[in-house]
Amino acid sequence: MQISGVVAAYFALGAARSAHSTTGAVVAMLAGWILLYFSCHAIAHWIVGRSLGIRFAFYTVGGTANPEGWPAGLRWLFEHLPFFGVQTEKASMQKASPMARAIMWSAGVTASAVVPTLGALWAWRSGVQGSKLFLLVALFWAVGTLASNWTSRVGDFSKARRALGNP
């Protein structure tokens, strides 16, 4: 499903590029960005984790694990949107080095910030109507995503710090 989301985002961004109106371009760009945002997090954990020898038991679907990282208006929304997650296999996590665990935990939120922003950057570089302002919004969102997760006690960066023995 996540790969399908990334592929659909590619097509949405392509549609934004060929849109004949600014409204159509912005709607397609927003759709592509949202698809990337929701489709890259768990798969980044999986790709990076597997490359570091970490195995996964299954995927999960549920709201954000970091609700306090969002302002009140968005908090409820992000608690109820269907985010994909991954459940690691306990034995492989115990065998993995602290650095491997930290990198795997950091991969998800980093991908959630970087991948959609790269989509917005591509739209801007491709000359999509309305993409300059959209890129600025995407950059602001990415910084907020990273900052809120960095300060969270339950987010992926917190898990990465704990894996390295830092509270």
**Per residue in 83-103, pLDDT tens?**
788 888 999 999 999 999 999
Taking residues 103-132, report their average pLDDT.
95
Kindly state the helix (H) or strand (E) to which residue 84 belongs, with its residue range: strand 83-88
* pLDDT higher than 80, residue 159: yes
Q: What's the one-letter identity of residue 160? A: A
Q: What's the one-letter identity of residue 87? A: Q
Average pLDDT, the chain: 89
pLDDT of residue 118: 97
| Minimum mean pLDDT range among 19-33, 42-56, 143-157 | 143-157
**Please, which residues have CB within 8 angstroms of residue 90's CB and are 6 or more apart in sequence?**
none
pLDDT of residue 63: 66
What percent of the chain stands above pLDDT 70? 95
Q: Domain map of the chain by residue range?
A: 2-163
Higher per-residue confidence, 58 vs 32: 32
- Confidence label for 9 from pLDDT (cuts 50, 70 and 90): very high
Q: CA-to-CA distance for 17 and 26, rounded, in angstroms? A: 10
pLDDT of residue 167: 67
Q: CA-to-CA distance for 56 and 88, rounded, in angstroms? A: 4
Beta strands 83-88; 56-62: pairing state: antiparallel
Q: Which two structure tokens, joined as six digits, stand for 110?
A: 């980093």
Q: CA-to-CA distance for 116 and 118, rounded, in angstroms? A: 5
Tell me 68's DSSP state: G
Residue 13 in contact with residue 119, Cβ under 8 Å?
A: yes
* Report field, pTM of the whole predicted structure over 0.95: no
